[in-house]
Amino acid sequence: MFNNPKGHSPVPSSADLKEFKEVTQRDSLVQLEKEIAALLTTTSDDKKDLAKSQFAAFSRLFQRFLEESGSSVDWERIEQLPIDSIRDYNTLLKPSPDDIHSKLEKLVVVKLNGGLGTSMGCRGPKSVIQVRNDLTFLDLTVQQIEHLNKKYNVNVPLVLMNSFNTDKDTEQIIRKYKGLQVEIYTFNQSCFPRVSKETLLPIAHDCDIEGNIEAWYPPGHGDFYDSFKNSGLLQKFINSGRDYCFISNIDNLGATVDLNILNMLLDRGTNPLEFVMEVTNKTKADVKGGTLIQYENKLRLLEIAQVPKEHLEEFKSVKKFKFFNTNNLWIKLDAIEKVLNEGSMNLEIIVNNKTLENNLNIIQLETAVGAAMKSFNGGLGINVPRSRFLPVKKTSDLLLVMSNLYHMKNGSLSMSPLRMFPTTPLVKLGDKDFAKVKDFLSRFATIPDILELDHLTVSGDVTFGRNVSLKGTVIIIANHGDRIDVPSNATLENKIVSGNLRILDH
């Protein structure tokens, strides 16, 4: 008979471990719900019902987080995409001019407007960063919709999903659009408590969100469905005869209303598509973007966070996964209502680990709006031109959209016909000197001519004079302590510039 050596406990069996895990999960959930009940008592009466429904949604998300372990996808069960699952945009038919009015009357445009401009060094909503001709993301969006409404004599409403971070500023800003031919609606996404990584308990002690804003977070754009319904807008638009909403990120300047896609959706008769995702060809710059897969006989979104570590390189491969999600989505409104009423929406949880300024490690549980695809019937991907994906996440993107690479008309950007090839240049700007919009703008007397640029890398203390032209591959590196001033009217073509360069006017 085997005896344990003195002081050593027996190795626990898998059944013991499972029971231990279940007990600790139950305990964590009980403790969390106690804390949430305490938080609820600090809510003002007029906000109690909303807080109660949001806390209930958070508890459900937290419970799933405790129960689920490992990847939500069994890699071996990913199926090959069926031939008809991705449609080529070029096969879509244009609507006849007589049909455009009636089809646009069936549409609602939704912009995801919950993000702040902090990563680009700006205060307030990201949508109020000036991107071109002193116009902001929000200005351009409103211009686009107003132009559509005037041109086709329609009333396509614009809906902004704000967060508690952007709501106040956005409400003040949209007053200036009152005289325009566009109806603007806003609603707020949920506000969830951040949870300590150590204790798995909320770090907030009361519901004074503004008094302790670091203790709360908006739970990703997957929260759109519940919040849209809770706002009453979903029902309002269904009742008024609208059929589809077109959802996109407000910082994607390529996400304009597309009449060909709308025409396809509304010409399906008795076999409607409930969920359409615009995808585009993956390049090496997009390897982290979510992709479409066939899984359990349904199209669904696969995000990098769901990929087992040993398959990461395969996921990033342009050969196996050829497309990535632009987050431009077309969804049937009554299908959203049906899925929510059935309670069948089950979005994958994205665990976002963060460290606050006081060095406290917290977790945010988030979901993605495109992950709902698997909950709908009649899903389809449309392989759209790259021009429909023009996001501005960094100042390097800002350089592109501010340049002569694009023309602007009625709030929409289109690539200059003088550009010889359809791809955009690859631009890398040093984080230290260029990451913040204010610093970025101070380094350019005027934005350079980049019509013939392929690749630009700039690092260190570099400034550009007026009317500079960049062509081919240009690399400019000022080492620590050095400074490079590119003089006005200079043309750099296939050049590497390093060291110290200052040309003084005299």
Give residue 32's identity as a one-letter amino acid code. L
Residue 172 CB partners (closer than 8 Å, separation 6+):
none
Token pair of 50, please?
A: 């909303």
DSSP string, 349-366: PEEEEEE-TT--EEEEEE
Please provide the size of the chain in residues.
506
From 106, 197, 338, 393, the catalytic residue: 393
Binding-site residue set for UTP: 126, 189, 220, 251, 393
Binding-site residue set for substrate: 221
Q: Is 320 assigned a catalytic role?
A: no
Strand partners, 116: 125
The C-alpha atoms of residue 178 and residue 153 are separated, in whole angstroms, by 18
Count of other CB atoms within 10 angstroms of residue 11? 8
Element (H, E) at 147: helix 137-152
| H helical segments located in 85-178 | 97-104, 137-152, 167-173
Give residue 31's identity as a one-letter amino acid code. Q
- Provide the 3-class DSSP secondary structure of residue 414: strand
Binding-site residue set: 126, 189, 220-221, 251, 393
Q: With beta carbons less than 8 A apart as the criterion, state whether 202 and 195 touch.
A: yes
Of 347, 358, 53, 323, the residue nearest 220 (C-alpha): 347
Given the DSSP bridges, would you call strands 192-193 and 291-295 parallel, antiparallel or unpaired? unpaired
DSSP string, 313-361: HHHH-TTT--EEEEEEEEEEHHHHHHHHHHT---PPPEEEEEE-TT--E
Residue found under tokens 């501005």? 392
DSSP string, 438-497: HHHHHTBSSPPB-TTEEEEEEESSEEE-TT-EEEEEEEEEPPTT--EEEPTT-EEEEEEE
Torsion of CA 128, 132, 137, 143, to 10 degrees: 120
Of 312, 310, 330, the residue nearest 321 (C-alpha): 312
Which residues are annotated as catalytic? Answer: 393
